[in-house]
């Protein structure tokens, strides 16, 4: 999907005009290279709005609009979502009036805390989507498990290179997780908990306390 089509989609029923946005980023599977039949088009906008953030969904198109203040606050805290946005290659950035990547220095203590929390939360969410009846959703659980592995791999790149250099670094895990027909969390825990622990250990070596 080219940038003009993205802008057109953002104009339809969206409460916020993309032409007033400061930055517009692609996000998710279309960035990682893991697009499949169930994939949405995910967009993050940074705009002068009053609310911290607002989510907009239409069909398979999802847009999260952050206020400038909220985006910059989360970026300063090294939130991995914001890090993923600002270090995108140019062809995946729709609009970039504020070049946040320029001069951004990585604080490894902040990075360790932010990545560890986000990755652990993703692993816990994966478990819940398998075992909690009210919210059981195996596909979402599998996606969360994949993200739990991907996030610290991105964190390691940030610690070592000061930016994300390979957005597809974890992609080899996704087909194995996605295509597995087992729906018992015990299997995934046995298979992927050691991998998760190993990836987290490698990340923490380059982002010490």
User: Could you tell me if 123 and 145 are in contact, meaning their C-beta atoms sit under 8 angstroms apart?
Assistant: yes
* Domain extent listing, the chain: 3-96, 108-206
Partners of 54 in the β-ladder: 65
CATH architecture of the domain with residue range 3-96: 2-Layer Sandwich (3.30)
| Interatomic CA distance for residues 131 and 157, integer angstroms | 32
pLDDT band at residue 91, thresholds of 50, 70 and 90?
Answer: very high
User: Could you tell me if 40 and 60 are in contact, meaning their C-beta atoms sit under 8 angstroms apart?
Assistant: yes
What is this structure's pTM? 0.93
User: Could you tell me if 101 and 26 are in contact, meaning their C-beta atoms sit under 8 angstroms apart?
Assistant: no
CB atoms within 10 A of CB 103: 6
- Tell me: the pLDDT tens digits for 47-63? 999 999 999 888 888 99
pLDDT of residue 19: 79
> Which residue has 């490698």 as its token pair?
202
pLDDT of residue 98: 96
């Amino acid at each position: 999907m080219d940038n003009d089509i993205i802008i057109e989609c953002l104009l339809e029923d969206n409460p916020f005009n993309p032409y007033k946005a400061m930055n517009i980023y692609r996000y998710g599977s279309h960035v990682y290279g893991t697009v499949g039949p169930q994939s949405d088009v995910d967009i993050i906008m940074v705009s002068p709005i009053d609310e911290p953030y607002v989510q907009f969904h239409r069909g398979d198109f999802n847009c999260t609009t952050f206020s400038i203040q909220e985006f910059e606050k989360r970026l300063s805290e090294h939130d991995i979502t914001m890090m993923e946005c600002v270090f995108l290659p140019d062809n995946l950035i729709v609009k970039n009036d504020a070049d946040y990547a320029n001069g951004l220095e990585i604080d490894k203590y902040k990075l360790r805390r932010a990545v560890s929390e986000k990755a652990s939360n993703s692993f816990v969410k994966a478990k819940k989507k398998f075992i909690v009846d009210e919210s059981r959703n195996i596909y979402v659980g599998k996606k969360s498990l994949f993200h739990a592995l991907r996030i610290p791999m991105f964190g390691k790149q940030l610690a070592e290179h000061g930016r994300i250099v390979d957005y597809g670094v974890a992609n080899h895990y996704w087909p194995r997780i996605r295509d597995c027909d087992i729906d018992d969390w015990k299997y995934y825990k046995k298979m992927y908990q050691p991998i998760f622990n190993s990836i987290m250990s490698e990340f923490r070596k380059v982002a010490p306390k």
